[in-house]
Structure 1
Amino acid sequence: MQNTNETNPKTSILSEKLISLFKILLFVVIVWMLYKTFKEKQQNIGDLIVECQKTLLWENLWKGILLILLIFFNWGFEAKKWQQLALKIEDISFKEAFKGVLMGLSLGFITPANLGDYAGRMWKFQHQKRAESIGAILLGNGIQFYISLLFGTLSFVYFVFRKEQFTSINFILILIFSFSLYLGFFAYLKRHLFYLFLLKIPFLKRFAHTVKVLENFEIQEVMEVFFWALMRYLTISLQFVLVLLIFGIDLNLVDLLAIVCLIFLVKTIVPAINFLGDLGIREFSAIYFFGFYHVNTSAVIAATFVLWLINILFPVLLGSILVLKTRVF
């Protein structure tokens, strides 16, 4: 009697071809989105080249080398954070976590609300455990958001007093940010209530198991995740300061750090509907805040664009290659 459970060889080959075709399509879409980004920014390429030529000084050499080296620390800290979060679900190596982060970055680049990031990070887990990983990803993103909100709020307070922007709107914003910080801390302490809340809502009940993993994290484990998230935030902030210094933005270090934190705050709280990897948001907020210091606008735009190139463009390309080479589905 023939075993009906045996897989048809032709069906298996067809499935593999369809998966390969889908991955190639993903790669093409990612490259096309990168091309679209450059095309939309084409009017700034001339100014970018001029500003880059001004940076070709020996005194900037060590800054440039450090800037490049920090790329690996930036995404390395993110991978370490993800590895720490994933341990509650399945044991993965740092290498696997790093690949997951890069693949998530690439897939997130072409999807609204960065949804592709979830798929990229889930690739290593067994099918039945992928739903649990959503809760871990949400926790990691929540902690990163909290750090950006914390430093952004402190920087906004500094900015308001430094530039004497004592308006009612600014004070309302400070109150909103401060309350959000408290709310975030309270949400962590009462995270088990979120799971119970989902269980009581009929149409949300089926999603409850995705956040149940949050209950398994002890305070020490959360603090470890917080540490790696903080290290990543400090790394990318240092990168931004370095690239601003390279492009001749001559401000004191405290002001530079404050503006950088404000730019990250705006990027964090603006809804994630930008298909171009937050490039436009970062440019707009940089021009706005640096406008109070009367610096070279072209240099600011060039600096933000270069930071995007090294921190987003190259990792996205690398991640897209990993998508091609990895059996994700």
Structure 2
Amino acid sequence: MTTNKNIKILLNYVIGPLVFCLLAWSIYRQLLRQNNWQASLKHAWEAMMGAEAWKMVLAVVLMFANWGLEARKWQVIIKRVQHLSFIQSCKAVFTGTTLAFFTPNRIGEYMGRILYLDEGARIKAISLTIVCSMGQLLITWWAGIGGILYLKAYGNTELLHTFAGLWLNLVLYFAVGAAVVLTLFYFRLAGLVRWIEKIPKLQKPVSYIRVLDNLNATILFRILSLSILRYSVFIGQYFLLFDVFDVHVTAAQVAGSVSVIFLVLSIVPTIAVITELGVRWKIGIEVVQLFDSNITGILATSLAIWIINLVIPALIGSLLILGIKVFNNRK
């Protein structure tokens, strides 16, 4: 009992504040390393104080819709091993976002979420959480493929004949192959589990993923539907913020450009706290300039999206780590 109490004190009063301070420091260092960060911040500040400020506020409100949909999606799939309330699911998702901030391609998200589950359900929950992420990744890849085709058809012809056109083709070929494989894998999870069960040496690992055998087509399509809604929220945020920062693009151009940005972000190895902002800026410039040359506006939009969708949720999650409830003993 004394050992458990000491561990809880360490986690809540040492690790929690340390994570919060490290997050704040890393954000500051990340901004200092980026070119044009002062111009982007100045532009963002002027926009927030101007007549278009309501669009910025709406984009922040949509952040809660974004993560609320993700929390609902996780709640739906995780009930195969444990029932959680929507509020508990939201807390788990925000905590996962904090840990994801420090890990390559957000893999720490899984560890943050399972803190809210009973010990006996945690390992099984990892496989379910991966399926949840697979649903979002499927939407990201197929939408990105459509976005590349749109850019190639309607983007700036001169720029498409440069290096931009070459890397778009490379990403397209990779994405098509990967999306087809992932789609087949996603809808054949139960069959995969039954196939693995036939291998004697894998009996112990398969006990942790046998829960996937209960995921029927209805559940999988529900996950995809929530993923599409969440993806639509992303597009809406970009549309609002491009307008705020005077990047003149139509709704179709926003959808096409943003889908390619998300596609590349899902493929390129990044760590949110170190490299993701720079990657977002670089991809945003390369893609959106096919329709508008306002580089400062593109940088400001990418920065605002990064802060709204990643930094604020990560800060919320770091505050939740401070709460004793995250580390309470569970029955």
TM-score, normalised on structure 2? 0.87
Could you say what the CA RMSD is over the residues aligned between the two structures, in angstroms?
2.5
Could you tell me which runs of 5 or more consecutive residues in structure 2 were left unpaired when the two chains were aligned.
Answer: none
Contact 1:48 1:298 in 2 (8 A): no
Offset of residue 39 of structure 1: 3.0
Say which of 161, 172, 176 aligns to 1:178. Answer: 176
Deviations 1:45-64 (A, max 9, x none): 24430454256442x24423
Deviations 1:62-91 (A, max 9, x none): 423322221111111111111111111111
Contact 1:241 1:260 in 2 (8 A): no
CA distance in 1, matches of 2:144, 2:104: 24
Say which of 17, 25, 31 aligns to 1:24. Answer: 17
Offset of residue 129 of structure 1: 0.8
1:317 and 1:277, CA in 2 relative to 1: closer, same or farther beyond 3 A?
farther
1:19 and 1:146, CA in 2 relative to 1: closer, same or farther beyond 3 A?
same
**2:185 corresponding residue in structure 1:** 187
Matched AA of 1:313: V
Larger radius of gyration: 1
1:142-221 alignment, distance < 5 Å? 142-163=134-155, 164=157, 165=160, 170-171=168-169, 173-195=171-193, 196-197=195-196, 200=199, 202=201, 206-221=204-219
Offset of residue 236 of structure 1: 1.2
CA distance in 1, matches of 2:208, 2:8: 29
1:263-282 alignment, distance < 5 Å? 263-276=261-274, 278-282=276-280
**1:290 corresponding residue in structure 2:** 288
Contact 1:33 1:110 in 2 (8 A): no
Deviations 1:97-150 (A, max 9, x none): 000000000111123342321121111211011001011111011110000011
Moved more, 14-23 or 117-126: 14-23
**1:67 corresponding residue in structure 2:** 59
Contact 1:51 1:298 in 2 (8 A): no
CA distance in 2, matches of 1:201, 1:43: 58
Q: Kindly, what percent of the aligned residue pairs are identical?
A: 24
CA distance in 2, matches of 1:172, 1:113: 20
Offset of residue 245 of structure 1: 0.9
Moved more, 230-239 or 308-317: 308-317
Contact 1:263 1:285 in 2 (8 A): yes
Contact 1:118 1:134 in 2 (8 A): yes
Q: SS at 1:115's partner residue?
A: coil
Matched AA of 1:33: S
Q: Would you say 1:15 and 2:14 are equivalent positions? A: no
Q: SS at 1:211's partner residue?
A: helix
Could you tell me which runs of 5 or more consecutive residues in structure 1 were left unpaired when the two chains were aligned.
Answer: 1-6
Contact 2:94 2:316 in 1 (8 A): yes
Contact 2:44 2:304 in 1 (8 A): no
1:169 and 1:52, CA in 2 relative to 1: closer, same or farther beyond 3 A?
closer
How many residue pairs were aligned? 319
Say which of 224, 227, 230 aligns to 1:229. Answer: 227
Offset of residue 321 of structure 1: 0.5
Offset of residue 36 of structure 1: 2.4
Q: Would you say 1:302 and 2:295 are equivalent positions? A: no
1:327 and 1:55, CA in 2 relative to 1: closer, same or farther beyond 3 A?
closer
Offset of residue 171 of structure 1: 5.0
Q: Would you say 1:45 and 2:56 are equivalent positions? A: no
Moved more, 18-27 or 156-165: 18-27
Moved more, 270-279 or 78-87: 270-279
